[in-house]
């Protein structure tokens, strides 16, 4: 099978497995796991943040960040495509008692002027108190789009002006950093909290690290515990994350290159109605007959994401190799000749 559904389908490499099996571990509930501490310190240092904490999932890390920033009855601002709104099971309201004000951004990216216009007047007690802005970089439903750093700086100015927190869902921030050449420490200067995923493009079996300012992170262990995230010998998983950060970031360029090649091929296909801009490893495109295309893909043992309304999604990753890439391109050309 050629699996292009997501960059979450990767399996640990041989080097990663060796790092996991040789990890030095302890009980993380007592903060005695040396490999977990090493990973957390490494991520905090990368972003110039005060502290960091390992979470089993990205959703839990994001939900913890929202809880750290807000009180029940308050409201956060995010794009209408935001992962914290669409793909975290309603956790914003369930875990924090917070509502979302959704903005109609550009491929999942919002602007400072949109944020400022969406802030509820703090003295108008009939509406929720706005306390947090959440951004996503790269954007998932936006097709892997990357924020311009100047846009984030402008949003940060609005947050400072109105006393709002600023959280980054950086599930694919590694892809954005590689694509743009931005410095992780610039993000640490702009955001109060940042979550970075280890199990997507970097290929670890699990894990997300939340880093942030000590004034917020001092309560992160308690919130993680409340959410059921207390873990024991997590050093085995943290060793995979460390290996991924140290060895797999630069190779994301290969995923981006393959995504660009797929985009160029799709743009030439008559069965394709539209291809969204491609900046990183996600390709979203619209076909004329999705049922026919999905049937063909199944016959060719290609697994892809059907987003509905004719929209398809490919996501490149390190388990998608050059031989598979050539086969996918040939399959697309074949389907174009018969459709």
- The answer to whether 84 and 134 have CB atoms below 8 angstroms apart is yes
- pLDDT score of 145: 98
Nearby residues of 288 by Cβ (< 8 Å), 6 or more positions away: 271, 272, 273, 310, 339
Strand partners, 328: none
User: DSSP string of 110-167?
Assistant: --HHHHHHHPPPTT-TTSPPEEEEEEESSBTTTTSB---HHHHHHHHHHHHHHT-EEE
State phi, psi for 315 to the nearest 5 degrees.
Answer: -130, 120
Beta bridge partners of 286: 274, 311
Query: How far, in Å, CA of 273 to CA of 325, rounded?
Result: 22
Taking the whole predicted model, whether its pTM rises above 0.95 is answered as yes
Q: How far is 170 from 234, CA to CA, in rounded Å?
A: 22
Tell me how long the chain is.
339
Rg (CA), the chain: 21
Separation CA 40–CA 23 (nearest Å): 15
User: What single-letter DSSP state applies at residue 227?
Assistant: T
Which residue, among 201, 299, 306, 337, has the nearest Cα to 259 in the 3D structure? 201
Spatial CA neighbour of 231 closest among 208, 211, 197, 247:
208
Closest to 88 in 3D by CA, of 171, 144, 11: 171
Delineate the domains of the chain, giving CATH numbers in brackets. 14-247 (3.40.640.10), 251-338 (3.90.1150.10)
- For the chain (339 residues), the mean pLDDT of every run of 10, in chain order, is 97 97 98 98 98 98 98 98 96 98 98 98 96 98 97 98 98 98 98 98 97 97 97 98 98 98 98 97 97 97 92 97 98 96
């Amino acid at each position: 099978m050629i699996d292009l559904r997501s960059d979450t389908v990767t399996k640990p490499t041989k080097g990663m497995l060796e790092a996991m099996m040789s990890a030095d571990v302890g009980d993380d509930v007592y903060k005695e796991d040396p490999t977990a501490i090493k990973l957390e310190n490494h991520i905090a240092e990368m972003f110039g943040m005060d502290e960091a904490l390992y979470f089993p999932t990205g959703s839990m890390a994001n939900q913890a960040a929202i809880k750290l920033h807000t009180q029940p009855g308050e409201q956060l601002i995010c794009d209408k495509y935001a992962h914290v709104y669409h793909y975290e099971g309603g956790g914003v309201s369930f875990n924090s008692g917070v509502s979302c004000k959704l903005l109609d951004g550009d491929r999942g990216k919002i602007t400072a002027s949109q944020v400022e216009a969406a802030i509820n007047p703090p003295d108008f007690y009939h509406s929720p108190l706005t306390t947090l802005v959440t951004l996503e970089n790269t954007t998932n439903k936006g097709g892997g789009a990357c924020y311009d750093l100047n846009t984030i700086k402008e949003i940060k100015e609005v947050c400072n002006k109105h006393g709002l927190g600023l959280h980054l869902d950086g599930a694919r921030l590694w892809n954005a950093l590689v694509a743009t050449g931005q410095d992780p420490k610039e993000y640490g200067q702009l955001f109060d909290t940042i979550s970075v995923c280890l199990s997507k493009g970097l290929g670890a079996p699990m894990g997300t690290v939340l880093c942030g300012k000590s004034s917020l992170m001092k309560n992160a262990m308690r919130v993680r515990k409340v959410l059921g995230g207390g873990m024991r010998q997590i050093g085995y998983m943290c060793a995979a994350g460390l290996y991924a950060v140290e060895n797999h970031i630069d190779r994301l360029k290969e995923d981006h290159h393959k995504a660009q090649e797929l985009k160029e091929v799709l743009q030439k296909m008559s069965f394709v109605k539209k291809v969204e801009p491609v900046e990183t490893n996600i390709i979203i495109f619209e076909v004329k007959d999705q049922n026919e295309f999905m049937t063909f893909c199944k016959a060719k043992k290609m697994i892809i994401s059907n987003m509905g309304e004719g929209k398809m999604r490919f996501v490149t990753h390190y388990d998608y190799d050059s031989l598979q890439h050539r086969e996918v391109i040939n399959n697309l050309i074949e389907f174009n000749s018969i459709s």
